[in-house]
Amino acid sequence: MRIVLLGANGQLGRLLRASLAPLGEVVAATREGRLADGTPALRADLADSAGLAAALDSGAADLIVNAAAYTAVDKAESEPERADRINHRAVAEIGDWAARRGACVVHYSTDYVFDGRADRPYREDDPVGPLGVYGRSKLAGEEALRGSGAAHLILRTAWVYAAEGHNFLRTMLRLAGERDELRIVADQIGSPTPAGLIAAVSAELIAQWQAAAPDRRAALQGTYHLTAAGRCSWHAFAEAIFDRAEAAGLIARRPRLVAIGSAEYPTPARRPAWSVLDCERLQTRFGLHLPAWEQGLREVVDALAAARSA
């Protein structure tokens, strides 16, 4: 199987390069046309329609894994056209290409398609209601892919972090060395999810898809929620990060944490207050068990500590 991985330099894309390798030939594609270490890669900029089409033709994929996205939630409010181009129209073009070529698409979406007003974990078929430009662009991308006729898996996830990239974990570890006190939002609830978990589960889903008979593939196609199990606030996540980082020797001291409400930390884009996703459909259909978010955090922080001491 020939796999074109879009967004191969991102925090998820870097981990997907490793997890997808046993499944076939992975063609890494990046906006710059090279990997972070300078290795040449397929150039695929989702903001450039003609360039994306050329990259897809050149990649000649059996499977497209789209880990590229416009993720600057606040900046999207002032760049709606760019967000829509990358998160919606480019996804429509990927779906159309895949439908014509008989290829499959794995695409990642977000909790931001919901309005965050639920009182239970969101299921895949719950009503959507994005609060801002980013969520609307991601929802439009989902709908375009479903409407393209391409075989697809759409994986919605939330609160993603990794040992590399720009994310809440790395921000907290950096600020631990700079601040004596941090004010962290305590009234937004979600499931912190390591990118490594998403990469590993994605590979397992693709392996099962690849091995399935046609009728089984048809049954597996669709939208799934994929996060770590459990839930917490950003404030509780920060507490857990510092607990583990201190125990692992990653930080010399920890700042004092002050719980605040979202209203005390205004941002251009509104965030869902409730981002907990129900992952039962994915676990049942694919026979998987998703670990607790605390386990994922422990593994990522311990890996960071081991890398620092190596």
* Whether 157 contacts 167, CB under 8 Å: no
Q: For residues 168, 283, 62 and 49, what is the CA-based torsion angle, rounded to 10 degrees?
A: -40
Q: What is the DSSP string of 240-255?
A: HHHHHHHHTTS-S--P
Using N-to-C axis directions, what is the helix angle for 195-211 and 11-20, rounded to 10°?
40
Tell me the backbone φ, ψ of residue 27, rounded to 5 degrees.
Answer: -100, 105
Closest CA to 69 of 48, 50, 84: 84
Residues identified as active-site: 134
Residue type, 53: A
Residue 222's Cα: distance from chain center in Å? 17
- Residue 1: which residues within 8 A CB-CB, separation 6 or more? 23, 24, 25, 62, 63, 210
Count Cβ neighbours within 10 Å for each residue of 196-213 and write b for 16 or more, e otherwise. Answer: bbbbbbbbebbebbeeee
Cα 309 to Cα 249: distance, rounded to the nearest angstrom = 10
Structural Rg of the chain based on CA atoms: 19
Looking from the CA of 191 toward its CB, the CA atoms found within 13 Å total: 28
Residue 92's Cα: distance from chain center in Å? 19
